[in-house]
Amino acid sequence: MTKPGKERNENKYSDVLIIGAGIAGLCLGIKIAQRFCDKKIVILSKDRPGESNTRYAQGGIAVVTDLKKDSFQQHIADTLLAGDGLCNEEVVRCVVKEGPDRLKELEEWGTVFDKSSYGLDLGLEGGHSAHRIIHKKDKTGFHIIDSLLRMIARFPNVEILWNTLAVDLLTAEDKENNQCIGATYIPNNSNKIRSIQSSFTVLSTGGIGQIYSVTTNPNIATGDGIAIAYRAGAKIRDMQFVQFHPTALDAPKEDTTFLISEALRGFGAYLITRDGNRFMFKYDKRGEMASRDIVSRAIFNESLYQPVYIDCRHLDKRDLITHFPNIYQKCLSLGLDITCELVPVLPAAHYLCGGIDTNLCAQTSINGLYAIGECARTGLHGANRLASNSLLEALVFAHFCFQDIETRMFRFVETVFPSEILIIHNSPSDKLLAIQSKLKLTMSEKAGIIRTNEGLMAGLDIVRELSVELELVFQEFGMSWMFCETRNLLIVATLVLQQSLNQKENRGTFYNYDNQEVVNPILKHHV
């Protein structure tokens, strides 16, 4: 789907190419730069400094630090329970036990977390049996990204290309393997697609939230890493397990969806209907502290009859504002005082539990290609992610990825680059926006919290039609930034729909009315 231009390619080279500048990508970049001062690391980020899914993580990082009131085994058990029987237990154990060391490292790099008189101030979130959430008020991700950006700026061997979009992976195929040798990309304010050679390429591109109409993800979360990995032949798994956060702020006039952190319920807030009914205990014995899949379906079900709210009115006003200043100020700006008013909420697409299939070393099915963070399917989350395990996973797998690259750093990879660059054009934004809008509506209706076989098949038909429309746009106008994002959205939507149809059991985040209910011996609940 590319059209070659006539100018010679201005190639770049890196020893390690990292695509994505959230917590996973930046941590990896820091670790490699520290270890190999003579190696070149290039990081591509499609937006401005700090903009990533990590930035919007309110709750924190789940790490066992208080061995008197908590244990690794408890955290492991909670993760397995939330994952509804589909977690890779070996991965779970490795990640949980690695958590304290990775947290210490993050603190050494300058991240400061909230403290109490007893040490770290530990929060509680849904699905957790103990207080173990490390946080910085309700803007944990923002503070982590800020400290990582300041840390990575110290290394002269790291080059970060901001406002740069990765287009495709470069691969050198032979009879025995598929080898990743770099990527093509659109530089900032450029009308040309360029290539970058790399011995190692790492995808850390975040999630896919923008395939849905209502999502907590930023606009850049268009599934780029998963789509380009898929086009290159990488194995993609578990795309049917899309986690919806139960409590996004229901503010239809807002351009973006604001997250109401799970930590607020851990702090003591209730979920109630308009008539004052606290309904969660009829769905799960843990009430508001049930895992996200259960709470989301419960809210979805209750919302069929009347609106659902978060109720903080019984909580101490001063403590509430102190612990959740960001949520308080955001709601106040919309005319809602959470200390004395009910806050309307609804579920929103939040996190992908599947993605690019990797092993414990973060290796994909393509040689030389790694995936870390949300775009990777590591086996940690199974069918449903335990709250605040995502930042933990990113930290740990950035470390595992670093360890593997460290052992292979001095290999030599012979590569051959395209002799010509590709010229991009200005695709008609109105046509591409129309395709994106119809896609989001389709996925929200056909592949949301509750699905049916008929809806999924209808969704696939619509996405195929939209893909034909996109091809016609390309034939007439050529390649562009918006075209690439739209193509990626259609690919990941197709994967979600196809793998949803293949899922014959209702597990975790996945619920299909047409499937027979499976009673999991690990987790028994109903909707």
Active site residues: 292
Residue 29: which of 151, 142, 146 has the closest Cα? 151
At residue 451, the 3 state secondary structure works out as strand
- Give dist(CA 135, CA 122) in Å, integer: 7
At residue 187, the 3 state secondary structure works out as coil
Residue type, 234: A
- Tell me, rounded to whole angstroms, the distance of Cα 235 from its chain centroid: 18
Tabulate helix, strand, coil % of the chain (nearest 5).
40, 20, 40
> With contact defined as beta carbons under 8 Å apart, do 233 and 368 qualify?
no
- Give dist(CA 160, CA 41) in Å, integer: 8
Residue type, 130: A
Structure tokens at 352: 């992908």
Residue 291: which of 239, 245, 254 has the closest Cα? 245
- Give dist(CA 462, CA 456) in Å, integer: 10
- CA dihedral (101, 107, 110, 114) in degrees, to 10, reads 160
- Give dist(CA 246, CA 295) in Å, integer: 6
- CA dihedral (480, 482, 488, 489) in degrees, to 10, reads -160
